[in-house]
Amino acid sequence: MTDEQIVRPTPISGFTEWLPEVRLLELAWLDRIREAFERYGFCSIETPSVEALDALMAKGETSQEVYTLRRLQGGEDDSDARLGLHFDLTVPFARYVAQHFNDLVFPFKRYQIQRVWRGERPQEGRYREFTQCDIDVINVDQVPLHFDAEMPRIVHEILTDLNIGPFSINFNNRKVLQGFYEGLGIADPISVIQAADKLDKIGEDGVAEILTGRLGLSEEQTRGCLDLAAIRGTDSSVIEQVKDLGSKSDLLAEGLAELAFVLDSLADLPEGSIRADLSIARGLDYYTGTVYEGKLLDYPTYGSICSGGRYENLAGSFIRRSLPGIGISIGLTRIFAKLLAEGKLPVNGRKCPSDVLVVVPSDERAALAGTTAATLRSRGLKVEVYHQADKLGKQIRYASRKGIPFVWFPPFEDGKPHEVKDMTSGEQTPADPGNWTCPAVS
């Protein structure tokens, strides 16, 4: 048979799958994200992949994005059909807090790294299944404002550590938007927020059309809304620019104070990496204060790489409590897949975690290869034994093809020493499995 005759199974659009050498990098990212979350004391939780549809639909997300389950032979009245795969980790988290309220210590700070699913048409940066890495805090009655600054600070630290290239975490405050619109005498500020969120997609003219047309705003109100959305910056001049537009309301003042606090708290971060952007609205209905949205600066039209915000009424809506929260989510798959596609990830020849391949000198000495490997493993090394006594060249080639940095040779006859070969330098030296240490490999 030749390769040409092989009919391979085809990938399913909207679902990612990586080769081992790429997965190795993704796993390293996941480890570093988790380490950072834990460094700040967030605890891990996981929720089921499904939620009751009622819970999923409690707040705002359009229902067409949800996948429901059906047993292959279940028929129409299947109770499983009332279960949907979660489309984010915030709604399941809010449900979790409500459900386990009496067993949690507040403020409850958790991280959650899981896959989520959306029944969307796949396109660049949009997947049907992808991994999100979320941190959130929910507390009873109030969540201190310092979290509004801490959330993007932690994500900034992580994205910098992951070396994803230039990025910016942009933020806004829903109270500023709503308060500003109210100050202009607009009766339905929520509809204006939803329209303003489309600015990226349909442009200023498109939004203006909705505002004056469908929503019946005056020319002056529309002008105000668009002027507000044009404001962005990294210092307190942003606040002044908003004030200069002349709208006034208590809510606006409150929102501006919060916006100023976040700007101020993050002033030490590198220029341009954190930015107030008054055009950000976020589509999800549950946000009520600070909102976040991250961008890869080299790919300005590419989707948001992290997002989140403050939600006052999400967890509390499941039970009769005031349970405000705030959180931020790193779009792991979205960032990783983009950098991979752009050739920006350091994919090298390493296709497995092994530090060492132990050669099998002969059938008679296979057991010796096994005990040698066991000794090395007991000292923390990652060690493969070649799977059979084979030509030496073939065994070494296997290590080379998998990118295993060291090949170990148990003695081929009694009285001879063990030897180890550095696959990068080609150097081969005597070594003792009981005390050899693996040099750091780049």
Say how far apart CA 342 and CA 134 lie, in whole Å: 25
437 binds a second copy (CB under 8 A): no
- Amino acid symbol at 51: E
Residue 87 φ then ψ, to 5°: -100, -10
Q: Binding segment for a second copy among 23-31, 180-188, 202-210, 247-255 (CB under 8 A)?
A: 23-31
State how far Cα 415 lies from the chain centre: 55
Say how far apart CA 228 and CA 222 lie, in whole Å: 10
In sequence order, which residues have a C-beta less than 8 Å from that of residue 423 and are 6 or more positions away? 399, 400, 404, 405, 406, 407
Q: Which of 72, 300, 426, 427 binds a second copy (CB under 8 A)?
A: 72
What is the number of other CB atoms lying within 10 angstroms of the CB of residue 201?
A: 8
59 binds a second copy (CB under 8 A): no
Task: Give the nearer residue to a second copy in terms of CB position, either 71 or 243.
Answer: 71
- Nearest approach in angstroms of CB 186 to a second copy is 31
- Nearest approach in angstroms of CB 146 to a second copy is 7
Restricted to residues 259-318, the positions that interact with a second copy (CB under 8 A) are 318
- Nearest approach in angstroms of CB 361 to a second copy is 15
The residue written with tokens 């093809």 in the block is: 401
Restricted to residues 177-216, the positions that interact with a second copy (CB under 8 A) are none
Restricted to residues 97-126, the positions that interact with a second copy (CB under 8 A) are 98-105, 107, 109-110, 115, 117, 119
Q: Which of 32, 126, 321, 416 binds a second copy (CB under 8 A)?
A: 321
- Nearest approach in angstroms of CB 341 to a second copy is 17
Q: Token digits for 184?
A: 């202009």
- Nearest approach in angstroms of CB 130 to a second copy is 10
Q: Which of 245, 257, 352, 438 binds a second copy (CB under 8 A)?
A: 352
> In what helix (H) or strand (E) does residue 146 lie, and over which residues does it extend?
helix 146-161
Say how far apart CA 381 and CA 194 lie, in whole Å: 55
75 binds a second copy (CB under 8 A): no
Task: Give the nearer residue to a second copy in terms of CB position, either 228 or 315.
Answer: 315
Q: Token digits for 13?
A: 């659009």
